[in-house]
Structures are given as structure tokens and as C-alpha cells.
Chains A and B, each alone.
Chain A
Amino acid sequence: MSEENEVLVRARGLIKRFGGFTAVAGIDFDLFRGEAFGFLGPNGAGKSSTMRMIGCVSPPSGGELTILGLDPVRDGSAIRARLGVVPQEDTLDMELTVRENLLVYGRYFGLPRALIRERTDQLLEFVQLADRGKDKVEPLSGGMKRRLTIARSLINDPEILILDEPTTGLDPQARHVVWDRLFRLKQRGVTLILTTHYMDEAEQLCDRLVVMDHGTVAAEGSPRELIAEYCSPEVLELRFEPAVHDASVEKVKDSTTDRVEVLADRILLYVTNGDAALAAVRQRGFQPLTSLVRRGTLEDVFLRLTGRRLED
């Protein structure tokens, strides 16, 4: 098997139940070495449960799961030695300093002190915390803590980095710094698995992704493939005077063969060419208050697959 086709994580019919509740209801996926793979989905879709199973801290209730060619139940410890995990909530020790957090964590992996020290220098440099090494963790900002968690997850030089909602709760600047660091890791060949409900994050980082809903995989592919399959190249958004909104959207709907979605304040037309569609709408005598032509995005795909809205 060639290097780039090597399967690192393989799931077939993977199930996770908690008592009577099924969090993951039989999913299939393959994760290849060197790619960035995303799990998208609304809260409660089963993303975190899947992450915990891949992280070998939660035994599957059914189906097959192989990680690095090993069995997560029997070889959990050996697998975890080769994983890096950035959990949804930071688990840093607030009482300790930045460097001590990395030292304690490095020891969990049985790394010699000299190696931990050397990697700590490199990692703190990498996550732009080199000048905070001796500071306590507690007063650091949310973005800094996240970056420290990422640095800590890399202390064992992992083959796969698992990130559960890596930028949830961060301000825009902090998010961009995290994205930038993750992109660099990807360039270095680290395999990334991440969950998110931010579509821009998925579009920026993921080579391939699955959309999960109610514990199942609703769609799978690259962001571009998913947009092509479940959306349209462009989206035309029209807004009418509130007084004539309802009547106008009905008429626009009747006059086109494209997929149309009616929202409370505007109407969306999923079209190949937005400008041409807008011209056609105008030609038929409709005068929208405002109009917007934009590219079809992953967010459109996501809302179509997991949203609960009326569609035509």
C-alpha cells in the first residue's frame, strides 16, 4: 500500500450507545495518512462520541474500528501513545506553569526529561507562547490556553491529531491564529481529525469531511464535492418589500425551475449563474428591494442536510 493511501482509521458500522440512547448509529469512514478529515454536525449529532472512540477512551458498542492497524479496546494504551488529543474543554492544570503542564504531560508518555525540555522549547515557539513558559496557566487568555493545549497534544510527536471543536468560544483573532497553526501542522504531514460546527473552519482546514446528523453520516466528500452535490455553484438571495414579500416569493417560485428556499425575510435561489438568474427575475418584472449573488458554501450544504426547513 502506498504511503498516501495508507488507512490510519477505519470504521465500519460503528455504533455507540449510552444505555438506551444511541449516540452513533452505525457509521463508516476511512481516514488516510496526511489528510485533514472533518466531522461536521449540529450539537448532539454524535461527533464527540466518535472522537472519544477514536481517542480510545470510549469502547465502541458495536461495529468495527481499527486505529493505526490496532484494536482500540485491546491496544488502547499503545494507540494513545501515537495520538494527540485536543479536547473540547481545556484540561490544563491551572495551578501549574505553562512549561510544567507540558512536563507533566510528556511524562505520561514516558518521555525522558531532556527530550520533553527540547520539544517544549520548539512547541512553545510554534504556538507563540515562548515568552509565557514560566507563567501560570490560569491568567492566560482563552486563545492562549487553546494554543497551549495544542502544544501539549503535540508533545509525543503524534501521527494523528484529534481536535474536538478546536476554536469554539474563541474570538476571531484567536481563531485565525489556531487555524494558521493547524494549517502548518497539516503541511508538515500530521494527520488531522477535527469536529466543528463552523463551516468556514471546515472549508479552511478539511480535505475531506462527513456531515453527521442524529448519529449517522448524512454526506461525505471534499468541501467542493459536497457543494457540487448538495448545493449549487451560486446562490441568489432576494429581499422584497415586506408588504409584497409573500406574494412576490410565490410568483418567483412559480417562475423558475431552480431549487428555491423561502426564509422569513428573503428568498434563496440555488442557481448556476447568479447574475443571469437575477437578470431573468428582473425581466419578468420583479423588483427586489435588495439582491445578493454569492457562491454556494458549505453552510448551505449543512443547512440543507441537517436543517429542518421547508424545501422545494
Chain B
Amino acid sequence: MDRTLRAFRCWLTVYRRIWRSSIWSSILGPVCYLGAMGFGLGSLVNKHGTASLGGVSYLAFLAPAILASSAMTTGLDESTFPVFGSIKWNKIYIAAQASPLRPGDIFRGHLLFMLMRIFLNTFIFIVIMCAFDAERSAWVVLAQPAAVLTGLAFAAPIAAWAVTVKNETAFSIVFRFGMIPLMLFSGTFFPLSQLPAWLRPLAYATPLWHGVALCRGLSLGQLDWTGFAVHVGYLGGLAAVGIWAGTRMYRRRLYV
């Protein structure tokens, strides 16, 4: 654990130089999304009735889903190019490797930093979301850890894979054919009941849907214990597999 923290502090030192600009984009992103989609598009949606949304306004329906999907985006942003660059560009991993840190320490230290970024972004998001009056239940305080778990469920396995990537064009495929479809078809902008029946099981299998359902259930106060357990179990399992694989993949890549 001590060595993981040593690796983590390197990232803090790097982050200290850029945190101001990164905080601004963390604030502007949610404001734009909730403003444009929640209010703008929402005013149209609400006119046509919100029964299929569970009887809540489009803003209340949308906000927790954007929370989950922005946790995913932060997780992916932090676990792709920064991981690749730590080998190829600024060589942070290569430098760290010559020290007493082991590949697993380097991985966990970086993952801890990704977790911190996801935590900060989702925290800011929840504050803005509540300022927009988009939550319907006090359970919303648990939506933040839920969103962090969603981000981790992406960041850990993707980092484990990214460390093995030889060419960074692989990441644009992840963003284009992974992240964007997930954002569109995980019950984020419209309920899954609107999807053709045969497509729904596919959506239920994606991690983002579990993150969206978990955050939405908490924010609206409509979650039962079974649903909670299934979503947390799925995301936690994915994160655990990622952490397990990351230690191995980092070792395989760095210790050759």
C-alpha cells in the first residue's frame, strides 16, 4: 500500500500543474449538458407526457444518467492515452520502474489517481445537479459512490488493456465504437423500453446501463435492494477483474 501511494503522489505532482483548467471543464460539461438537454430538450419531452420516464421530469430522468456516463468518460479518458503515454511519451512508468516500485504498484498508484479524478468530477456533477434541482431523493448522496464505481469499472480493465497497446489509434476505436454507442443506448437519454425488444438484453449486459440504472434509482429513490445488489455486483465484479488483470498486464508489459 505504501508503494502504491508513492506512485500515486507522482500523479498528484503532475496534476498540480493542470488542475485549474481541468476543474473548469469538469464544471462546464455538466452545466452544458443539463442546461441544453435537461431544460431545452426536456421542455419538449415533458409536453408529451413522462409516463415512460416513470413520471418524473426529463431533467430528473436524465441527470443521474449523465452522471454515470460522465464517470465512464472520465474513467476512459484517464485510462487510455495517459497509460499509453506513460510508456511511450513521458515515460513515467519507465522511470518509476527503475525504482523500488513494482509493476503492480505503478498500476495501482495510477489507478488511484484515476479514481481521484472520477471522484472529483462526479462530486462537482452532483453539486451542480442538485443546484439544478434534478434529484428527487436524499439517496442521491449514494449516487456519487455509485458513479465512482461505474467509472472504476471502466478505468481498471481499460488500463489493463491500454498498457499492452502498441499503437494509439486503438483508442479512437474504443471511443468511437465503444463509448459513444454505450452513451446512446444504455438508457441514458431515453428508457430502454423504447428500444426494440430483441436489443434490450444487449443493453442490459453493458456496464454503463448498470451504472445508469444504479445512479438513476438512487437519485429518484426508486431502487429496490435486488436491483441495487445486481448493479453493484456487476460493476464491482468488473472493477475487480480489471484490478486483477491490471497487475498482471503491467507486469507482463513492463517486466520483460
Contacts and interface: CB of A to CB of B under 8 A. Distances in A.
Interface of A: 18, 55, 57-59, 76-78, 80-81, 83, 85, 87, 89, 91-96, 100, 103-105, 107-110, 153, 156
B253 to A, nearest CB: 11
A96 B14 contact: yes
Contact of B14 (A57, A80, A93, A105): A93
8 contacts: A57-B98, A58-B256, A77-B3, A87-B98, A93-B14, A95-B17, A108-B7, A108-B99
A298 B256 CA distance: 33
Given A80-B99, A95-B90, A103-B13, 14 more contacts: A55-B98, A57-B98, A77-B3, A77-B102, A81-B100, A83-B98, A93-B92, A96-B13, A104-B9, A104-B10, A105-B99, A107-B9, A108-B6, A108-B7
A137 B95 CA distance: 15
A110 B10 contact: no
A57 B97 contact: yes
Nearest to B94: A91
Contacts of B13: 96, 100, 103-104
Contacts of B2: 110
A95 B14 contact: yes
B248 interface: no
Interface string B159-197: 000000000000000000000000000000000000000
A76 B255 CA distance: 11
Interface string B70-103: 0000000000000000000011101111111110
A108 B100 contact: yes
Contacts of B17: 95-96
B255 A58 contact: yes
A57 B254 contact: yes
Contacts of B95: 91-93, 105
Interface of B: 2-3, 6-7, 9-10, 13-14, 17, 90-92, 94-102, 254-256
**8 closest Cβ pairs, A-B complex:** A108-B99, A91-B95, A85-B98, A91-B91, A81-B100, A77-B100, A104-B10, A91-B94
Name the residue in B9, B96, B255 with the highest tally of chain A Cβ atoms < 10 Å from its Cβ.
Answer: B255
A80 B102 CA distance: 10
Contacts of B102: 76-77
- Majority secondary structure, B binding face: helix
Nearest to B254: A57
A91 B98 CA distance: 10
A126 B187 CA distance: 61
A92 B17 CA distance: 16
Nearest to A156: B99
Nearest to A73: B255
A84 to B, nearest CB: 8
Given A58-B255, A91-B91, A109 B99 contact: yes
Nearest to B96: A108
Nearest to A55: B98
Contact of B6 (A59, A92, A107, A156): A107
A57 B13 CA distance: 25
Contacts of A95: 14, 17, 90
B63 to A, nearest CB: 35
B85 to A, nearest CB: 11
Contacts of B91: 89, 91
B255 A57 contact: yes
Contacts of A94: 90
Contacts of A109: 6, 99-100
Nearest to A80: B100
Contacts of A58: 255-256
A108 B90 contact: no
A152 to B, nearest CB: 8
Nearest to A136: B17
A76 B99 CA distance: 10
Nearest to A76: B102
B256 A18 contact: yes
Nearest to B99: A108
B60 to A, nearest CB: 41
A78 B17 CA distance: 32
A99 B254 CA distance: 26
Name the residue in B14, B90, B99 with the highest tally of chain A Cβ atoms < 10 Å from its Cβ.
Answer: B99
A127 to B, nearest CB: 17
B42 to A, nearest CB: 41
Contacts of B99: 80-81, 105, 108-109, 156
A57 B14 CA distance: 24
